Amino acid sequence: MGRKRMDREGYYADRKENRASSKIDKMNAKANLALAKAQKRKMLVALIVVGLIAYAVISTGSASSIIEQLKSYF
């Protein structure tokens, strides 16, 4: 058994357990950060694709035919 010490709240804590739990917390934080970055990049790519499609439709002039088709429904 390792040496036991008192932590701030007055409970006995094992150094190995504290070290292991802090490593797990650090790994979880890194994983959450990676997931957040991936989702941000995914949204950015989606926005860029929508912009490119809109530019292609407007620049080719086919936007007027699409607008006319939409007007016919209303």
Could you read off the pLDDT of 22-66 as tens digits, one per residue?
899 999 999 999 999 999 999 999 999 988 888 877 777 766 676
Here the tokens at position 29 are: 């934080």
Dist CA 7 CA 13 (whole Å): 6
> Residue holding tokens 């530019």?
55
**pTM value?**
0.50
pLDDT at residue 28, rounded to an integer: 93
pLDDT at residue 3, rounded to an integer: 56
Counting every residue, how long is the chain? 74
pLDDT band at 2 (very low <50, low <70, confident <90, very high): low
Dist CA 51 CA 33 (whole Å): 27
